[in-house]
Structure formats: C-alpha cells, structure tokens
Amino acid sequence: MNFTKSQNIFERAQKVIPGGVNSPVRAFKGVGGTPPFIKKGQGPFIYDEDGNQYIDFVGSWGPLILGHAHPEVVDAVARVLSDGTSFGAPTEREVVLAEMIIDRVPSAEMVRLVNSGTEATMSAIRLARGVTGRDKIIKFDGCYHGHGDSFLIAAGSGAITFGMPNSPGVTTGTAKDTLVAKFNRIDTVNDIFQQHPDQIACVIVEPINGNVGCIPPEGSFLQELKTLCHINGALLILDEVMTGFRVARGGANELYNADADLLTFGKVIGGGFPIGAYGGKREFMEQVSPVGAIYQAGTLSGNPVAVTAGIETLKRLTPTAYLELERLGKLWEDGTQSAIDKDNLPLTIKRVGSMITLFFTDHDIRNLDDVNHCDFEAFKRYFHNMLDAGVYLAPSQYEAGFISLAHDDYLIQKTLEISAQSFAFLKDHQ
C-alpha cells in the first residue's frame, strides 16, 4: 500500500499538534508506523488520503454502530443544520433523546446530556460525592473512564498503551482519593471497603472492560459489586460510554441485570457527533443543578446536531438489529476459534455481541494482569499484516474491535481469511 500522502500530512501534523494527533492512540505508537489519515467513510469502509480502502472495525471507537455516513442519519443532520447549529436554550429534541435513553435503560430514571464521555463520568462521580458527602472512589485497574484527573490512576486505553496509566499533572490530593481494585476480583473491592469504612462515595466500573481489550464480567460480579456498594453506603456507577446501546438495547446494565445507581453514556448516543450523558435514579439526579445543589453545566450540551444524530441512530437499533450484531460477532468469533483450534495457536478470542478482541496469549483473560502477559510483538505483526491487507483494527492490543450493522457475512468471512493469513506466522513459532 502507498502511504505517501498520509506520511506527508503526519509530518506536518507533528509540527502543530502534539504527536500529530488529537487523541493519543491514533498516533500508532503502540504498533509503530504511520497512521493512515482518513479522507472519508462509507458504510463498513474507510478511505485514506492515498486512496486505500479498509474494512473498518474501529468505527470511530464505537459510535458508528450503523456504519459510516448512514444516509438517513446524514439527511436528518443536514435538515437540522439548516435550522441552526446551537441555541444555548432548550430544544424538544433533547427531551426526545432523553426519553429514548430512559425507555431503553430503566435504571436511568432521569438523564443529563453533556458533550463527551469524559464529561459524563466526571459529572457522575461529582454527583456520587455530593450525594454521599464522601471523597473517595473505587475504580478498576485498566478501566478507562476518560481523561478526568480522578480516572488517570491505573487507567486503560491510550494511557496503558503508552505505559502511562498514572499521568503526571494529577495532584497527589486527587490521586489519593482514587482507590484501585482488580476487575473480576470482588475480594479486592471488599478489601478496599474494609480499609476505608464510610469514606467511599462510589464504585465506577466499565461493565465490560473494553479499554484493555474486550473482557466480560464473570458470573455475578456486577451484582456482587452492587451489593457491596449498598452495604457500605456507596453508589454503583456503570460506565456504559462504550457498552451502552451497543451490547444490548439496554446496554450491559440490561445484559447483566446490574440495575446501577448511576450510569454514563457517550459514543452511540451521538451517532458520531460529540455527546455524553449521565443518568440514574431520580433521587440522585434531582440533586443536580438547577433542581439540586450539585453543579454541572455546558454551553453546547444537548447540541441539536449531535442530538439528532443520536436519535436517528437509536431509532435504527431495534431488537432485530441487536440479533444481527450478535450473529455477525458470533460468525467472527467461531471462525477465529476454529482457526485457533485447528493449529493449536496461542490466541484467545473474547467477545460480547459486536465487541471483540483477539488476545495474543493462550491463557484465559480475566483482567488487565492477564492482558499484560500477551505477546505484544506478535500483535504488532498481526496488526500490520491486517492493515496492509485492507483491514483497519484498533492499533493496540489493549482495545476492543467494533462490528457495525453495515458489515455483512461476506466482509466477516473475508476478514477471517485475511486474519488467518495474518497470524499464520505464529505456526512457525510453535
């Protein structure tokens, strides 16, 4: 493949934007090489500045569950655009989107729209702290909740890809209030509650740890978490920014019967535009300003363009759509598992619905500790083999892939063939 134009733009970019990118993982540091600069997307494909076509399994890191430039979403957005881009005053569309979220997620009795997943999680822990009058929070090693200071402790995604799960610039005062447990290890949460009685405001968790690859919760992990929270007077916050409206109509909250106190959303609810939301039980949400005293605001919150794209996206996520996403995901998982079994390859595949990760290890994956033992060199080689053959995967072992409704059997089969060729080098290492 020719990357000349992307290389030239990347050189220019690095002079004016840190690392040449506006979000760290895009720089390809975890895998090396030049990131293709994307010119356009259509359905399941993206095209770079050099004209290369890729089957896209990143989908803008999750929002594009309908695929790129879905014609009806684009039309609806175009119509709204001509009526104005922002008012800083309430619009009916915001109410419609809030109603749609609440209808799908009964644990969210009220929601507040914000501009990103990061804002949603920051606002949710402020609310939990305000409600409980406590300072400390528990998060999980490798869970990523955006780049709010309180979350850049043992963080996943880009932070772990670059070996910086704890960012400089986070004050020791903030860091001391974030306590870190291990995903799928309820005993570690219990220990922290024992060590800090009456001090913990909330536990925040990605119900599926998608920011170190796709790791599902085991058994009744989420329910036990909720029980522990309530025994100890803390709130359970499910961070569904990635999983919300992706893994089920009601997200992971529905899939695992979690009934969280507070939930955070993003990605899919904006259909590719900047948005976030937090919601939860009415008794808590009514403590948010202007009804209650816990302050949170935003100039562009509830932006009509983003809200329209979200409404149009959610409308198309019918029960049949989730069955189709599950079917496509299973096709990929089963095809990969057969290839692994056939040659006894040191690979493990994990999937929930349309979220999927191929881990370069033959050990089971329960949490970040296990992912850290993957063969990262093998992942890099696989990643570049896939990219060169026209399949665009997340450029880090610590990330999940996303299937959209624009993908089909042919593209999954084609991806499986390319994938089998791309990890064939592992056989030589046996």
Ligand X SMILES: Cc1ncc(COP(=O)(O)O)c(C=O)c1O
Active site residue: 56, 239, 370, 375, which one?
A: 239
Stretch that binds ligand X, among 39-47, 215-223, 236-244, 360-368 (CB under 6 A): 236-244
Distances (CA, A) of 316 to 41, 262, 271: 19, 25, 11
Amino acid at 397: Q
Q: Which residues, other chains included, contact 214 with Cβ-Cβ below 8 Å and sequence gap of 6+? A: 208, 350, 351, 352, 355, 356, 357, 400, 401
Judged by CB under 6 A, the residue of 48, 177, 239, 375 near ligand X is 239
Active site residue 281: no
| Residue recorded with tokens 């198309």 | 316
State both tokens at 108: 């969210």
Q: Which is nearer to ligand X, 157 or 415 (CB)?
A: 157
Stretch that binds ligand X, among 64-72, 113-121, 359-367, 376-384 (CB under 6 A): 113-121
**Contact status: 401 vs ligand X (CB under 6 A):** no
Which residue is nearest to ligand X, using beta carbons? 117
CB 283 within 8 A of CB 247: no
Active site residue: 29, 136, 226, 267, which one?
A: 267
**Contact status: 61 vs ligand X (CB under 6 A):** yes
State both tokens at 426: 């592992």
Judged by CB under 6 A, the residue of 24, 117, 165, 217 near ligand X is 117
> Helix, strand, coil shares of the chain as percentages rounded to 5?
40, 15, 40
CB 169 within 8 A of CB 104: no
DSSP 293: S
**Contact status: 118 vs ligand X (CB under 6 A):** yes
**Contact status: 43 vs ligand X (CB under 6 A):** no
Judged by CB under 6 A, the residue of 241, 285, 365, 368 near ligand X is 241
Q: Which is nearer to ligand X, 91 or 116 (CB)?
A: 116
- The end-to-end CA distance of the chain, in Å, is 30
Active site residue: 144, 256, 322, 398, which one?
A: 144
Q: Which is nearer to ligand X, 36 or 276 (CB)?
A: 276
Apex CA 316: angle with CA 93 and CA 214, to 5°?
A: 105
Q: Which is nearer to ligand X, 3 or 392 (CB)?
A: 392
Binding site for ligand X (CB under 6 A): 61, 116-118, 121, 144-146, 157, 206, 211, 239, 241-242, 266, 276
Mind telling me the catalytic residues? 144, 239, 267
